[in-house]
Amino acid sequence: MRKITDDNPFFFTRLQYESGDWDVDQRMPSNILHSLVQYTTIPVDTKEKVVPLSSDDLFESPFCYLSGHKLVQFTKEEGDNFKTYVENGGFVFVDDCNHDIEGLFAKSFENQMSELFGPDALKKIPNDHILYRSFFEFEGPPATSQELNGWGDDLVHDYLKAVEVNGKIGVLYSNKDYGCEWDYDFRNKRWYRIDNTRFSVNIIMYALTS
């Protein structure tokens, strides 16, 4: 896995997969990268990279993001790469844009994880997990405005799920629609009483340091 240095800065990788709609929440990456610059000393490349999941370029990525609303059905090459990347220390943050637990994205993605890692691999993580203390302090996953406004199933999901490899999260999975929550121009952040992108910093810091 690539080491983060001034000459090799962190970059945000969005995974492109053949099924579904992978190119959602297009302002979100620049907002998150701005937060890394604002709060941390990590060298950052401020341009998002889009990498096909079937490409070997995946293995150069320190952090990957995968999302969508529709079907997730990996090709053989995509599934093999996803599994190899995770089992070799990679980190993928997967966010369900539908904010539900019974929709097409949720069901199909969870089926993919079962096929790749086994039926019991994707599990709820406790709300005292180190993820919630890796930079800022949280008492579990922050709620999103989509949840609080009754979007989707009208539930606030008080947990995240993960696939762990050797005691470390390799796949972090959310039904909370963080992508939509963070999908705004970073210059508008000043209007928020509390910066709602702070949890994204925790996710990336955990991915880089755990």
Which mean pLDDT values do the consecutive 10-residue runs of the chain (210 residues) have? 81 95 92 94 94 96 94 97 97 90 90 97 96 97 76 70 97 93 83 88 95
Rounded CA-CA distance 147/54 in Å is: 33
pLDDT of res. 51? 97
Domain boundaries, the chain: 13-209
The model carries a pTM of 0.93
Q: Which CATH class is domain 13-209?
A: alpha beta
pLDDT of res. 153? 53
pLDDT of res. 154? 54
pLDDT of res. 87? 97
> Where does 56-184 have alpha helices with state H?
76-87, 104-117, 145-148, 178-181
Helix (H) or strand (E) holding 204: helix 198-209
pLDDT of res. 160? 96
Taking Cα atoms as reference points, which of 76, 95, 88 lies closest to residue 24?
95
Q: Sheet of 13-16: strands edge to edge? A: 49-52, 13-16, 64-68, 92-96, 168-174, 161-165, 122-124
pLDDT of res. 68? 93
pLDDT of res. 1? 55
Distance, C-alpha 108 to centroid of its chain: 17
